[in-house]
């Protein structure tokens, strides 16, 4: 099936491509994305209001006492490393970038706990810069089931996706792929019966599921130390709780109040 067919069907299936992390500015999105490693957006959204109420910007967070940050981040898992990375990130932003989030992948991945996935999320969602395509466990699983690759490394998957998808579609496509995997193309039991891409997808048409059948060539890797602040490829899990994608016009952007972006 053509790439255009998949893109068209995916747009119908996920009309509102957005980040589900709550944020009000690029700094909050950067920290929230770091915290999402080995956690869920739902859990991160529960702790970030307290975090940013107490330390609202890079200057404040850089001066925070580590135990206090750890206590707030405890529910997200790996909270000591995450707290350390968050405080160190804030200090680097203050020292090297006047407290602002840099707008290049090269500068972002110099920050502790930031790899390409986090950089792509921040640049695409906060700044509208198509630096690449976000490949997390959902994006990996969906594109694997579509038959687009047989890779286990997110960097290799991203390269394949970038070659197939037009650059102007990268940001929205990445959001859509994640949301489709989160709410429809589930890890343990894909909801093929209600999937609008069923006729395009080999698994939807009844072929063996390469994700569930396993094999060394398609087993997603675990998060590394460098990726500790960027949810890359994780083991199969149940879908995250939360509302299904809702329709909205235009690209993802911060909302009022708690400030939804997209993920």
Give 101's contacts (C-beta < 8 A, 6+ positions apart).
26, 27, 29, 30, 93, 108, 122, 126
247 is catalytic: no
Catalytic choice (41, 82, 96, 136): 136
Q: Report the DSSP beta bridge partners of residue 22.
A: 260
Catalytic choice (117, 209, 225, 226): 117
117 is catalytic: yes
Residue 221 φ/ψ, nearest 5 degrees: -80, 160
The gap from C-alpha 233 to its chain's centroid, in whole angstroms, comes to 10
Catalytic residue set: 117, 136
């Amino acid at each position: 099936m053509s790439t255009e067919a998949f893109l068209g069907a995916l747009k119908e299936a996920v009309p509102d491509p957005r980040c589900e992390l709550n944020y009000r500015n690029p700094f909050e999105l950067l920290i929230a994305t770091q915290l999402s490693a080995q956690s869920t957006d739902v859990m991160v959204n529960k702790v970030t209001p307290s975090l940013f109420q107490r330390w609202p910007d890079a200057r404040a967070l850089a001066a925070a006492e580590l135990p206090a940050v750890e206590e707030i981040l405890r529910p997200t898992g790996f909270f000591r490393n995450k707290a350390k990375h968050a405080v160190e990130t804030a200090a680097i932003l203050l020292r090297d970038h006047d407290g602002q989030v840099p707008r290049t992948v090269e500068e972002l991945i110099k920050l502790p706990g930031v790899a390409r996935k986090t950089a792509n999320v921040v640049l695409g969602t906060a700044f509208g810069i198509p630096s690449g395509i976000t490949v997390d466990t959902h994006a990996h699983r969906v594109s694997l089931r579509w038959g687009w690759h047989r890779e286990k490394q997110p960097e290799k998957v991203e390269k394949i996706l970038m070659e197939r998808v037009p650059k102007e579609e990268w940001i929205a496509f990445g959001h859509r792929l994640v949301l489709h995997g989160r709410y429809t193309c589930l890890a343990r039991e894909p909801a093929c019966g209600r999937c609008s891409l069923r006729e395009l997808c080999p698994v939807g048409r009844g072929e063996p599921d390469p994700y569930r059948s396993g094999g060394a060539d398609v087993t997603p890797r675990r998060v590394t130390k460098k990726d500790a602040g960027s949810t890359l490829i994780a083991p199969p899990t149940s879908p995250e709780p939360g509302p299904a994608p809702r329709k909205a016009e235009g690209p993802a952007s911060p909302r009022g109040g708690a400030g939804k972006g997209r993920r």
